[in-house]
Amino acid sequence: MQPQEPLLAVKGVTLQYKTPQHLITATYRVSFDVHQGDRFILLGPSGCGKSTLQKAVGGYMAPTEGEMTLKGRRITEPGPDRMMVFQEFDQLLPWKTVKQNVAFALQSAKRMSQREAEEKALHYVDKVGLSKFADSHPHMLSGGMKQRVAIARGMAMEPDILLMDEPFAALDALTRRKMQDELLKLWEETRFTVLFVTHSIAEAIKIGSRILLLSPHPGRVKAEINSTTDPKEAAELERYIHETLFAHEKQEELEHV
Ligand code: ADP
Ligand code: MG
């Protein structure tokens, strides 16, 4: 891989679902590049194909048009180089402890010995601030803590890219903000690459370094923008994104007047 080459290249990707009655186009000719260390956001209204794009990057779905490459290699199947974190709280195995939940994936996918896997698991459990709960079972944890375990599990695999699909959407507002701060802190420490899906404009601006705006169904690229940490610029950016995403609806509203 050349230094300038993107880590993940998505080129003209159309994704479709075939049901007995319909052919549903989820995304249409979407292109974007994710570079090493990017916090890359897919932002758009519900149903615009964000999760579908993530699934395809994860290797669970093949494009009907275009292609996706990771480190120059075409994505054709799932692999431990791409780890997914979801919003559901039931992604952990309830009969395993926090440490075992993280170690399990390392043992099965990376063929590590139990000892080696548990050592690495503890390292990442510590990184997400859950050392004290390493031997607890998931039912003892709050929603936010469970989500941190899922993040630790994804990170412990040391993937090329972490895929997060609305990971904080099911949390209460305060916990959500705390988790966002923690994710940024983790990023400062390890500079992992993340492809993060959200439909919250504020979350996109806060978490992202780059933001891809997708139009409503079927998802097409509307714009790709840099985020900002300056509060005044962030407010402006929020307004800009809102206008860009809903420009079409505004047009319709006007037409109805
Ligand atoms: P988002 O994550 O942005 O809310 P999705 O990627 O989940 O959007 O869905 C994009 C479109 O594809 C929607 O119209 C949705 O109804 C459709 N879709 C998603 N999953 C399936 C599926 N398994 N079968 C058929 N259609 C689907
Ligand atoms: Mg989704």
Given ligand 1 and candidates 16, 17, 53, which is best to mutate, with the most ligand atoms within 8 Å of its CB?
17
Q: Which residue has the tokens 């004290």?
A: 132
- Residue 56 CA to ligand 2 center (angstroms) comes to 13
Cβ atoms of residues 218 and 28 within 8 Å: yes
* pLDDT for position 105: 87
Q: Are residues 131 and 154 located together in one domain of the fold? A: yes
- Residue 107 CA to ligand 1 center (angstroms) comes to 33
Q: How far apart are CA 51 and CA 86, in angstroms?
A: 10
* Ligand 1 lined by 49 (C-beta under 6 Å): yes
Q: Which of 160, 231, 150, 228 is nearest to 194 (CA)?
A: 160
- Average pLDDT for 228-253: 83
* pLDDT for position 235: 94
Ligand 1 atom closest to residue 54's alpha carbon, by position in its atom list: 6
Contacts of 136-142 with C-beta under 8 Å, sequence gap 24+, read 136/97, 136/98, 137/94, 137/95, 137/96, 137/97, 137/98, 138/92, 138/93, 138/94, 138/96, 138/98, 138/101, 139/94, 141/98, 142/175
Among 143, 158, 173, residue at a domain's last position: 158
- Residue 97 CA to ligand 2 center (angstroms) comes to 29
* pLDDT for position 255: 53
Report the predicted TM-score, pTM, of the whole model to 2 decimal places: 0.92
Residue 65 vs residues 15, 51, 52, 170, 233: alpha-carbon distances, Å: 7, 17, 14, 33, 37
Q: Are residues 101 and 196 located together in one domain of the fold? A: no
Ligand 1 atom closest to residue 55's alpha carbon, by position in its atom list: 6
* Ligand 1 lined by 46 (C-beta under 6 Å): yes
- 212 part of a folded domain: yes
Per the model's pLDDT, the better-predicted residue between 171 and 207 turns out to be: 207
Write the CB contacts of 74 (distance below 8 Å, at least 6 apart in sequence): 67, 68
- Average pLDDT for 185-203: 94
Q: Which of 129, 128, 131 is nearest to 151 (CA)?
A: 128
Give me the domain span that covers residue 102: 95-158
* pLDDT for position 257: 44
**Residue 250 confidence class, pLDDT cut points 50, 70, 90:** low
Q: Are residues 67 and 123 located together in one domain of the fold? A: no
* pLDDT for position 29: 97
Q: Are residues 244 and 137 located together in one domain of the fold? A: no
Ligand 1 atom closest to residue 197's alpha carbon, by position in its atom list: 2
